[in-house]
Structure 1
């Protein structure tokens, strides 16, 4: 029987009749490389996750107290802990709290964490009963509406959101708190109740007794607004008098202007410039045409305005369809926006558009032609 010849050196295996297995070798190599890359990615992911879960904060005191309000959501719990500088990795903490079952154990009260606690230790602490809170903490945010403030009050368990909204709609009660509400307003054609409290719940953190009521919370916020507003009016008295005389504005109008500035000025450094644009447009008889006014309805919060919204003349807050300022504020202005309303930047700008580049800043223009060019550049 003839012996099978071995391929000569330098002769390919394909020529020797053994080509099929070697033809598949590159595919097998690619498959193995892909598996290795996936495994490597899993190792890296696991390593990063481990580092985030076991990361310990620096610079904290020995212990850190965090108050969890009644009805706090999972997201709120993580944000409160993050706000106390106990974690820089909220997503990793969220996963740990889910997987450990800590979320199911969280109660309203004060939790005391070691200042250097990692995510695992935070989960352990949250599984224990908290200390009863000696005070309730209410934080009102600049730019939020009275409806959002009502939800924050309700989250403390000291009253319902509906009760706060009903108080806000009561002209006599709000006027009794010292708010310059102006005359009673006609019912809104869109069916949304009036909100005389809007703009006068000063954004700040308030500490309330555990037996406080929703009315107590409202009175505290209104009283603090009055204190801040009086301080600003005294400090900038000449500016206040000049603005009121030049534009024929009431106290309510000034706070309304501040709320428009707050709603538009994502970058605080632009507040006075934006106020200047609004004042320039008022002086020239131009409509303010500011989008946040279109959305000042409890059923429109959080969505973008539409063309129909801009054409809706039944909305008394529609600054596209109706000239002048809206009937009242559209949100809670912070101190910076209040100052901007008193001390607007002097310029001849009439338009601005959001640049949408992540900075929160705007492109300003003197002419409609330049403004349209900015719109084409940043919005199309």
Structure 2
């Protein structure tokens, strides 16, 4: 009789252990996707709020059981803010341990081509806990910028296209610390020496490169275009760069620049103001920066799009040559526009 009783108790205990194991140590994720993210904000999330998020977002099948195991793992005292990846098939125990240990999922911030500080702040605000307003406040803070030798205008010259990896709850200070580290990496002794030979600071090289970046996607032309603007800059001539007019107007959809646009009052309008603009008009690639540093020695002062519409340019040393090249392009453009208009009229007559 005792043997049967003991055997029965063992079976009950084994069944209870199996139920507990099934509940806490096997898959407890109801979603079909490969993963979902749980966001716990700094200084705002309490354990009950996390439970509510898990329940409302359907991140676990049994939020009540998670609450039970969470209390026993001291999650209500040790929970850490951050962005956590809950992978399909995770158990309640694994999720609780991940939260207790603060094992966040990193965030990649991919910088490609940005034009303004507002663009940068918006991008960071979309990817991290800190919002765009706090990022703008950081960039506008003279003390924060001064530590690294920048100000609210020149700060964009410290932003280089790359992929930067952080935790989601990083602060603007932490985010920009990596930007500054990349800046120091880019401006090694070799690049500094090349800039010095041109009589330019790293910030001026960056700003000039930003104009070249907006002028062409053809890497083989970037050196010649850089030489045009550099030659004009050294001679004290206005750069007269169309992309700076777009930046001054804040209208990057403009396809053509007309006389009415050239009157925009802005330090970035290089048709009105001589020299380089006070800051960059976009974040140029390293290829473009190196094209500025390694530009060929030329006497070019002008360039215009080729009349074959290849996207390439014709370069000239004198204004007389430039007028001939510009006239050829305008003639080709007028011909194309006339053909398009004729085609529209022909379609209209067939209705």
Which among 127, 130, 145 is matched to residue 174 of structure 1? Answer: 145
Which among 156, 166, 179 is matched to residue 198 of structure 1? Answer: 156
Q: How far apart, in 1, do the equivalents of 2:38 and 2:331 lie?
A: 45
RMSD: 3.6
Q: How far apart, in 2, do the equivalents of 1:68 and 1:353 lie?
A: 51
Match of 1:364 in 2: 315
Secondary structure of 1:197 counterpart: helix
Q: Structure 1 residues 340, 195: closer, same or farther in 2, change over 3 A? A: same
- CA shift, 1:68, in A, is 9.1
Name the structure where helix makes up a greater proportion of residues: 2
The 5 Å alignment of 1:299-310 reads: 299-304=250-255, 305-310=257-262
Checking the alignment, whether the CA contact within 8 Å between 1:69 and 1:136 is kept in structure 2 is: no
Q: Between 360-369 and 343-352, report the one with greater CA deviation.
A: 360-369
Q: How far apart, in 1, do the equivalents of 2:332 and 2:138 lie?
A: 42
Match of 2:273 in 1: 322
- CA shift, 1:333, in A, is 2.0
- CA shift, 1:277, in A, is 0.8
Which runs of 4 or more aligned residues in structure 1 lie more than 4 Å from their structure 2 counterparts after TM superposition? 65-70, 108-113, 355-360
Match of 1:223 in 2: 181
Point out where structure 2 has 5 or more consecutive residues left out of the alignment: 1-33, 40-57, 59-82, 89-102, 335-351
Checking the alignment, whether the CA contact within 8 Å between 1:239 and 1:342 is kept in structure 2 is: yes
Which among 296, 300, 303 is matched to residue 349 of structure 1? Answer: 300
Checking the alignment, whether the CA contact within 8 Å between 2:157 and 2:203 is kept in structure 1 is: no
The 5 Å alignment of 1:1-380 reads: 134-142=105-113, 144-179=115-150, 181=151, 195-229=153-187, 231=188, 234-236=189-191, 238-244=193-199, 249-296=200-247, 299-304=250-255, 305-312=257-264, 314-355=265-306, 360-366=311-317, 367-377=321-331, 379-380=333-334
TM-score (norm. length: structure 2): 0.59
Q: How far apart, in 1, do the equivalents of 2:38 and 2:247 lie?
A: 28
Q: Structure 1 residues 66, 276: closer, same or farther in 2, change over 3 A? A: farther
Aligned residues: 243
Point out where structure 1 has 5 or more consecutive residues left out of the alignment: 1-64, 71-104, 114-131, 182-193
Match of 1:100 in 2: none
